Structure 1
């Protein structure tokens, strides 16, 4: 069955169920190595879902199981509320980086990708390839050879290949890996645009800052196990915000903060920090000024995903890649 010529470009019509559900998903390799251990994921529709963990934590193995590239040892999963065979035509994916013919143009490469899709209609290939290139901002570079593309352009072309047909779910494995800051910003903006059109985006990364800026939800992996998942706000909500006071009188500021009941007061030569708890920062500032403590600056330090990860696992995290 082929796609109809008039089929709209973008997200596919929604099917029932969550975007991704896994229950007890496990992968053991020879020798007893457990790459993924009893994974229970719940990915809401319409979310940009960050699948977060250090390199080697099981992210790519999980994605390969989700897409049917690797058979799980145990457990089960569904995509879009459908069996895998029924879901895959609605799913676009980029796994472990793009692979294209270097001497062909971006447009010619996409035509080859499209020709490998048995559901694609040859009558609409030109329109669909053009729409995919425009969608990722490569319309003007359609005739340029792939070997002359920047790293950011190459990643965008790979995403265009995943969007040649209407997609309800887009799975991206480390889409900003190896990119310079400009390329990273390009891919981040593109992911947000795709999600705004109604496509659920599942994106794996080992870069915490990227997930915080790009995603609405996240799951945190450590050595093959899921240690937390939820909205970005709820994951950070388990950690206590701290207030940071810049002052020439750290001893006086520490005394005022302790008198207010703030916990874990820490003073250095130029600043004081403490757990903010339920105290309003403006009232903390008023109390300091009222006691004659000079305040050069006051800021509230919100917990990051790195703080959450360290708090859950006691381990460091490769935040720079």
Structure 2
């Protein structure tokens, strides 16, 4: 069954202000988990998740993402290291902090013959911090938040995959949340379901909630997230704003579309450009320090027929493959 962390302490439409300060919703230092038998699942991870961001926790399956999330939520005890949530040191602050954290770990699980609303009632009733007098309003607000009000009375077994995932997010939102942790929220969904969940995450983040999204889908992270952390074999190999990672990635290359491939390659080499690579109807080279317009003028001056010319920056896929040494799924 999916794990839901957090228990509402008050009934409000927006997350309450944190008593703790700080610019980050999640901070870890040297967070490490070694299981019995010596398996090192997470190795010295140092996360810094800005408040109000949609943070993509990206990595291939088996890279340590879910184990890290379980440690953050107090579900697994770290072997070493420290962490804080919403400014409160953990694990001592779990009792007062988790009511402001919603989480969905390892997929939703509901009673198939109960309606969506009835399933949420069971979640809410199991929460010792929830006031039963306001349960109806709280459940109604959660269903409305994820766009399931019209389907509240429908049995869960009749829900589409996207509706099931939205109901799981509703269960994590049964109360005001400052931080929402979602482990592979679009795993197994069809394209329509993926779009539904992606739009919902953006809407939740737009209301000021920090959203921490674990995924192995590069396209999903690229479309939703402003910040990312990249895991490989239990280690965090890169972290920061997506735009900054793009800038720090592989150097841009010049791309010349031409029928005169050999002549263009020779001209670029004479101009002192490195990494000249002839291709099928094009030549690429490292951009270097020379202005692109000067290179284009040089080619034309030497009689090379230039059909297209531009500076190509590396894709996120190329950057992340360079960081991890392996590919990512790009579907989303």
TM-score (norm 1): 0.92
Maintained 8 Å contact 1:46/1:195: yes
> What is residue 323 of structure 2 aligned with on the other side?
312
Coordinate RMSD, CA, aligned: 2.2
Change (3 A) 1:147 1:243: farther
| Superimposed CA distance per residue, residues 239-259 of structure 1 (whole angstroms, 9 cap, x where no aligned partner) | 212233322222233234345
Distance in 2, matches of 1:214 and 1:49, equals: 9
Change (3 A) 1:74 1:264: same
For residue 75 of structure 1, report the CA deviation from its aligned partner.
1.1
Maintained 8 Å contact 2:8/2:175: no
Maintained 8 Å contact 2:107/2:185: yes
For residue 316 of structure 1, report the CA deviation from its aligned partner.
3.6
> What is residue 206 of structure 1 aligned with on the other side?
216
For residue 306 of structure 1, report the CA deviation from its aligned partner.
2.6
Maintained 8 Å contact 2:8/2:100: no
Distance in 2, matches of 1:138 and 1:62, equals: 31
> What is residue 246 of structure 1 aligned with on the other side?
257
Distance in 1, matches of 2:8 and 2:62, equals: 39
Distance in 1, matches of 2:136 and 2:38, equals: 49
For residue 114 of structure 1, report the CA deviation from its aligned partner.
1.3
Distance in 2, matches of 1:281 and 1:126, equals: 63
> What is residue 244 of structure 2 aligned with on the other side?
234
Distance in 2, matches of 1:307 and 1:119, equals: 47
For residue 194 of structure 1, report the CA deviation from its aligned partner.
0.9
Maintained 8 Å contact 1:78/1:84: no
Change (3 A) 1:299 1:219: same
TM-score (norm 2): 0.89
> What is residue 283 of structure 2 aligned with on the other side?
272
> What is residue 133 of structure 1 aligned with on the other side?
143
> What is residue 16 of structure 1 aligned with on the other side?
21
> Structure 1, unaligned stretches of length 5 or more?
none
State whether structure 2 residue 110 is matched by structure 1 residue 110. Answer: no
For residue 262 of structure 1, report the CA deviation from its aligned partner.
3.6
> Structure 2, unaligned stretches of length 5 or more?
1-6
For residue 47 of structure 1, report the CA deviation from its aligned partner.
1.0
For residue 179 of structure 1, report the CA deviation from its aligned partner.
1.0
Counterpart of 1:92 (choices 89, 99, 102) is: 102
Distance in 2, matches of 1:296 and 1:304, equals: 23
